[in-house]
Amino acid sequence: MVFGVFDGMHEGHRAFFREAKMQGDYLIAVVSPDEHVERLKGHLPGVNLAKRFAALEREDGVNEVVIGDEELGSWAVVKKYRPEIIALGYDQTMLKVHLESALPQFDWHPIVKIMNSFEPNRYKSSLLSN
C-alpha cells in the first residue's frame, strides 16, 4: 500500500510504484481527497481527485486505487485492506510518524518501509507544479 496526492503523474511517482511493487505482489494506491490536501498543504491540488484517481488507474504496477480516509488519522483504509507492507515515499516523514504511532491499534503488524528517492531535484510534484 502506498499513499499520496499524486498531483500530476511523473517519473518519480512511477519509480516509487515500481519499488513499492517489488515489496509484494499487489499494490494499492491510496489517493488523498482534495480537502485533505488543502488542509495539510495549504492549497488544493492542481488536478482534482477524479482525474488523479483515473491517472493512477492507468499506471502500470498499480493494481487498485482507493480514496483516502474521510477522517484524517482514522486509518480506516489501512484497517480495511490490511496490507502486509506500507511503502512510504522518502519525503513522507510526518506520515511515517503518524502511521507508526497508530500501529498498536491494528490487530496485525504491517511493515512500514521507506522507498528510495528518484531524482528528487527533478521529479517532485512541488517542483514540477511551479
Domain hosting 122: range is 2-128
Its pTM stands at 0.89
- pLDDT the model gives residue 127: 45
Counting the structural domains of the chain, the total is 1
pLDDT tens-digit profile, the chain (130 residues): 999 999 989 999 999 999 999 999 999 999 999 999 999 899 999 999 999 999 999 999 999 999 999 999 999 999 999 999 999 999 999 999 999 999 999 999 999 999 998 766 655 554 444 4
- Residue 23 grid cell: 515489496
Q: Concatenate the DSSP letters of all residues of 31-56 into one string.
A: EPPHHHHHHHHSS--SS-HHHHHHHH
Q: What is the CATH number of the domain that holds 120?
A: 3.40.50.620
